[in-house]
Amino acid sequence: MRQDHRLSRVLHVMIHLDRHRRHATSDEIAMMLRTNPVVVRRTLGGLKKSGLVSSEKGHGGGWQLARDLADITLRDIYNALGEPPLFAIGNADEQPSCLVEQAVNDAIDVTLDLARTMMLDRFAAITLADIAADFDHRLQDYPEEARRFGHIRDDGEAAAEDDSHEGSKTA
pTM over 0.85: no
- The neighbour count for residue 137, using CB atoms within 10 Å, is 9
- Percentage of the residues of the chain whose pLDDT score is greater than 70: 82
| pLDDT band, residue 158 (cuts 50/70/90) | very low
pLDDT value of position 146 = 62
For 10-33, give the DSSP string.
HHHHHHHHHHHTS-B-HHHHHHHH
Q: Which tens digit of pLDDT belongs to each residue from 65-92?
A: 999 999 999 999 999 999 998 988 888 8
Q: How far is CA 19 from CA 68, 80, 93, in A?
A: 12, 22, 47
Range in 36-40, 114-118, 150-154 the model is least confident about? 150-154
Give the separation between CA 161 and CA 150, rounded to whole angstroms.
10
Question: Would you state the pLDDT for residue 117?
Answer: 97
Q: For residue 55, what are the β-bridge partners? A: 63
- pLDDT, tens only, 18-50: 988 789 999 999 999 999 999 999 999 999 999
| Cβ neighbours around 53 below 10 Å, total | 24
What does the mean pLDDT of the chain come to?
85
Q: What is the pLDDT of residue 148?
A: 62
pLDDT of 64 higher than 60? yes
Q: Where are the domains of the chain?
A: 6-140
- A 10 A CB-CB count for 92 gives 9
Q: What's the pLDDT at 163?
A: 42
Give CATH for domain 6-140: 1.10.10.10
Sequence-distant (≥ 6) Cβ neighbours of residue 84 within 8 angstroms: 4, 6, 7, 78
Share above pLDDT 90 across residues of the chain, in percent, rounded to a whole number:
64
